[in-house]
Amino acid sequence: MKLGPEADRENATYPDAIYNNDPYYIQGYIGDGGVDSYYTYGGSPGEIPHYSFRNNGNATLYVYVNGNQTRTVAPGEGVEEEFGPSAPPKGNNTITVEAADDGASNYSLWSKSESYNPIYVEYGANPYQTAKHPDFSNSYPDDEIPGAAGFVADGGADSYSSDHRLTKVTNNGTATLKIYQNDELWATLQPGEEMSKGDQ
């Protein structure tokens, strides 16, 4: 997916953003008769792509695919699985990465790394002000590939969840990072520091 010509770029008050997670999704803002547009790829020629949609505002939305109106979504309507502050975490253990000062850092997270143990991106990751540095989750982490990686700055925080507990975190930047697991401080990492706590 990518932004279309009518989508709001990062200099807008409420920029639209594409999140390259599993599943891929777009989060945007629209009002006062405005229009946003996006491109999607994949599928067979002529096939209408499958998508889910949720309207979290007070405007009625008209959704078009290839120029044809496919649905009307009233305020509060859409998919049942809500992605927002009230949605429950996908994994059993919550994880928060917080920049404890005004620095900026890229970071990587690992959890128990045997078989399929993803770290899920939760609401609060990919904040609009850092959308040009998107947070992401890999589906199949191993010893070399982090389960999740992202960017945080200026006192901001990103949130994740996992069915397994953290085993390793790296801090590549200038921010001091505080890592919380289930709301308890798991580690404080200085710039350039790495922390491992074994197979938990």
Model-level pTM?
0.60
15-61 pLDDT, tens digit each: 888 776 555 678 888 988 999 998 877 655 555 556 677 788 889 99
Mean pLDDT of the chain: 79
For position 78, what pLDDT does the model report?
72
109-135 pLDDT, tens digit each: 988 755 566 788 786 665 433 345 667
Within 13 A of 135's CA, how many CA atoms are on the CB side?
29
Choice between 41 and 148, residue whose per-residue pLDDT is larger: 148
At 98, is the pLDDT very low, low, confident or very high (cuts 50, 70, 90)?
very high
Percent residues over pLDDT 90 in the chain: 26
58-95 pLDDT, tens digit each: 899 988 888 888 788 888 787 544 455 566 788 899 99
Q: Does residue 169 carry a pLDDT above 80? A: yes
Of 81, 82, 64, nearest to 73 (Cα)?
A: 64
Choice between 187 and 64, residue whose per-residue pLDDT is larger: 187
For position 125, what pLDDT does the model report?
65
Q: Which two tokens stand for residue 52?
A: 């889910």
Helix (H, G, I), strand (E, B) or coil at 129: helix
> Are the C-beta atoms of residues 18 and 26 closer than 8 Å to each other?
yes
